[in-house]
Amino acid sequence: MVNAHPTAVISKRASLGTDVTVGPFCVIEDGAVIGNRCNLASRAVIKTDTFLGDDNEIGEGAVLGGRPQHLRATGPVGQLRIGSRNIIRENVTIHRGLSPDLATTVGNENLIMVNSHVAHDCQLGDNVIMANNVMLAGHVHVDSRAYLSGAVGIHQFCRVGRLAMVGGQAHITQDVPPFVTVDGRSSLIVGLNFIGLRRSGLTSDDIQQLKEAYRVIYRSGFTWVETLAALQATFSSGPATEFHGFLASTRRGVIQERRIPRRATVTLPPPVQLDESGKREDAPRVYRAG
């Protein structure tokens, strides 16, 4: 059974599962597929070749499956495939793949907040959180349990690794390795994402291993080839093994660590020495005539 508001426009060539709720002024186009128990708030638009799994919450004004914003998107384009139990809030836009054989994909249990944009051919894992106004350009990959703070912008073809945390308003132009934190002001890495690591259930031994791998990558002074070799030789099991695979497959390079400049030192003058009369011994003597 579908609970649809009378003002909703639902194509007869769309497929809707059971217990779907469609709010006022929604539009569901030809070829859209919506799974069981999905809830579409008012003015949500589900475009052609968009596939939703079960139990998704779609906010007011969201547009899912729009054509790619690309000069090549003049003919047939690809699909948008969204998993289950996602929360997609107001005015979110997610576009289909650029070519008919490609798809933008969103996994399960993600939270995509107000006004965020996911461009063509992006790939989102599971349990990703995107805060308000996040912008993903085309072909961006965001791995599971990554956290993107408000107004983050990510350049096309960049990747964000698992359990990484990107601070607000960061400009990401290279890959973000897994498990790290990116400072929003500098857009550079400032260490591991310790809060996210603990919340994910990693043990103290796992986190200690990640600390050691982090030092190999950012503190050892190795060349790129030496870094990859050291990671592969040192970490054969545990979460740190993910670093080698991620770094070895980068196409845009990885973000560097923010280095705090050494503190400036100020040479203080020697203590003031006073003579028996209480005057500074180094004070100029004044001679008076007469």
Q: Is 187 left (phi over 0), alpha (psi -120 to 50) or beta?
A: left
Does 120 participate in catalysis according to the annotation?
A: yes
Torsion angles phi and psi, residue 209, rounded to 5 = -60, -40
How many helices (H) does the chain have, and how many strands (E)?
4, 28
Instruction: From the candidates 49, 65, 66, 121, give the one annotated as an active-site residue.
Output: 121
Does 59 participate in catalysis according to the annotation?
A: no
- β-bridge mates for residue 154, sequence order: 136, 172
Contact (Cβ atoms closer than 8 angstroms) between residue 146 and residue 160: yes
Of the candidates 65, 54, 58, 61, the residue with the CA atom closest to the CA atom of residue 29: 65
Does 121 participate in catalysis according to the annotation?
A: yes
CA distance 28 to 48: 8
Instruction: From the candidates 53, 138, 161, 167, give the one annotated as an active-site residue.
Output: 138
State the pairing for strand pair 165-166/147-148: parallel
Instruction: From the candidates 117, 120, 141, 244, give the one annotated as an active-site residue.
Output: 120
Tally of CB atoms within 10 A around 123: 17
Catalytic positions, please?
120-121, 138
